[in-house]
């Protein structure tokens, strides 16, 4: 599994619950279309965390980079089924930082077998 990670702040924290609804709508749309496997939105607790990262963390799960690219391409179309959903999320955030992570060791790693707990 690959994880597209983003850390950010909200422009208006008074609209935090509205923002979560927008995230659910946009990423739920991508899940329904099979363009992502899942996602998780988390919020920093008690102010703990590196100061350079935002208060919120969004992790998007994809099988591979081809699936992530498909999701990006779909959002980039700005088609009527996706643009309003994407715009509500993107317009609400600031100070965003991105990263791409993967399970390690990879399932393709020669000589490595994942435990049954992870399968």
Is residue 119 in a domain? Answer: no
Is residue 25 in a domain? Answer: yes
Kindly report, residue by residue over 26-46, the tens digit of the pLDDT.
999 999 999 999 999 999 999
Is residue 117 in a domain? Answer: no
Q: Rounded to whole angstroms, how far apart are CA atoms 81 and 98?
A: 25
Which CATH number do you get for residue 70? 3.30.70.100
Q: Is the pLDDT of residue 86 over 80?
A: yes
Is residue 108 in a domain? Answer: no
**Counted domains in the chain:** 1
Domain span at 23: 2-49+58-102
pTM (2 d.p.): 0.87
Backbone angles phi, psi at 53, to 5 degrees: -95, 155
Q: 3-state class of 31 per DSSP?
A: helix
């Amino acid at each position: 599994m690959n994880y597209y990670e983003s850390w950010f702040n909200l422009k208006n924290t008074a609209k935090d619950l509205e923002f979560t609804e927008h995230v659910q709508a946009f990423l739920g749309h991508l899940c329904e279309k099979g363009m992502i496997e899942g996602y998780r939105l988390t919020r920093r607790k008690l102010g703990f965390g590196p100061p350079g990262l935002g208060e919120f963390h969004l992790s998007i799960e994809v099988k591979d980079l081809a699936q992530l690219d498909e999701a990006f391409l779909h959002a980039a179309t700005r088609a009527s089924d996706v643009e309003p959903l994407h715009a509500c999320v993107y317009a609400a955030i600031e100070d965003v930082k991105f990263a791409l992570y993967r399970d390690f060791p990879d399932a393709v790693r020669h000589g490595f077998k994942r435990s049954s707990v992870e399968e």
